[in-house]
């Protein structure tokens, strides 16, 4: 990971939500890499040897959803903190790794609180 700012990888297919989340995370001190789908986020993670934070939605286009991405990250980069912000159903949220922090959409204020909490963990 490069730079003095912790790296956050953001996977969100809704552009307006992605832009807002990236802006908030950047203002909180993260260097943010954005992806429109889980595979793009995985590419960012692989290129950087993981990240301090993965912020992902559950329902995204492509063959890999945010739940699959969260499990891949837990396996490959267990030190990466995971925030999942989604409007998914509770049964879908139950499939997330137990170390992932789930926030139901809409979630702007809760994202800020959780990101601050995650930053304090490092």
* pLDDT tens profile 37-80: 999 999 999 999 999 999 998 888 999 999 999 999 999 999 99
| pTM, to two decimals | 0.80
Residue 39 lies in a domain: yes
Beta-sheet strands, E only, within 43-120? 53-56, 81-86, 101-104
Quick one: which H or E segment has residue 71? Answer: helix 66-76
Q: Domain range holding 26? A: 20-54+66-103
> Is the residue at 10 inside a domain?
no
101-116 average pLDDT score? 70
- For residue 81, whether the previous peptide bond is cis, meaning omega lies within 30 degrees of 0, is no
**Reported confidence tier of residue 5, pLDDT bands at 50, 70, 90:** very high
Indicate if the alpha-carbon torsion angle 26, 28, 29, 35 is positive or negative.
negative
Confirm whether 82 is domain-assigned.
yes
Phi, psi of 31 (to 5 degrees): -85, 125
Is the CB of residue 52 less than 8 Å from the CB of residue 1? yes
Instruction: Tell me if 75 is assigned to some domain.
Output: yes
What's the structural domain count of the chain? 1
């Amino acid at each position: 990971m490069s730079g003095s700012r912790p790296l956050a990888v953001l996977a969100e297919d809704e552009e307006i939500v992605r832009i807002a989340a990236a802006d908030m995370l950047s203002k909180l001190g993260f260097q943010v890499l954005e992806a429109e789908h889980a595979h793009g986020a995985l590419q960012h993670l692989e290129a950087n040897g993981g990240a301090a934070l993965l912020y992902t939605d559950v329902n995204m286009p492509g063959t890999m959803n945010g739940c699959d991405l969260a499990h891949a990250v837990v396996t490959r980069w267990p030190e990466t903190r995971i925030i999942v912000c989604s409007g998914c159903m509770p049964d879908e949220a139950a499939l997330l790794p137990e170390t992932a922090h789930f926030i139901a959409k809409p979630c702007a204020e809760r994202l800020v609180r959780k990101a601050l909490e995650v930053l304090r963990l490092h």
